[in-house]
A and B are shown apart, each in its own frame.
Chain A
Amino acid sequence: MAGYLVLHNSGDRPATLTDAASPAFARVMLHRTVITDGQAGMRHVDSVELPAGGELRFEPGGYHLMLMQRRGDLHIGDRVELTLRFADGSTLTAPFLLKAPYQQ
Chain B
Amino acid sequence: MKRLISIVSIIAVLLSIGCSREIDWHTKDISGLMPELAFTLTSEQGETVTAEQYRGKVNLLFFGYTHCPDVCPITLGRLRAALDQLDPEQRRQVEILFVSVDPQRDDPAQLREYTDAFGADFIGLTGSPEQLDKLTRRYRVTYGYGEPDANGDYPVSHSSAVFAFDKQGEVRLLIRDDDDPQAVAADLAQLAAA
Binding site for B on A (CB under 8 A): 1-2, 27, 31, 33, 35, 38-44, 60-61, 64, 66-68, 100-103
B45 within 8 A of A: no
Interface SS, A side: strand
Binding site for A on B (CB under 8 A): 68-71, 73-74, 76-78, 80-81, 84, 117, 141-142, 146, 149, 151, 153, 155, 157-161, 176-177, 181
Question: In the complex, given contacts A2-B69, A38-B160, what are 11 additional A-B residue pairs having Cβ atoms less than 8 angstroms apart?
Answer: A1-B69, A35-B177, A39-B157, A40-B157, A41-B155, A42-B70, A42-B155, A42-B157, A44-B149, A64-B70, A66-B69
A2-B69, A31-B69, A102-B81 given; A40·B74 CB < 8 A = no
- Bound CA span A33–B177, Å: 12
The residues of B that contact A68 with a CB separation of less than 8 Å are 151, 153
19 contacts between A and B (CB under 8 A): A2-B69, A2-B70, A31-B70, A35-B71, A35-B160, A38-B141, A38-B159, A39-B158, A39-B159, A40-B158, A40-B160, A42-B70, A43-B155, A61-B177, A64-B70, A68-B153, A102-B77, A102-B84, A102-B181
Determine how close the nearest CB of chain A comes to the CB of B176; give it in whole angstroms: 7
Q: Are A60 and B151 closer than 8 Å at their CB atoms?
A: no
| Residues of chain A with a CB closer than 8 A to B146's CB | 41-42
Known A39-B157, A39-B158: A33·B71 in contact at CB below 8 Å: yes
Which residues does chain A contribute within 8 Å of B177, judged by CB atoms? 35, 40, 61
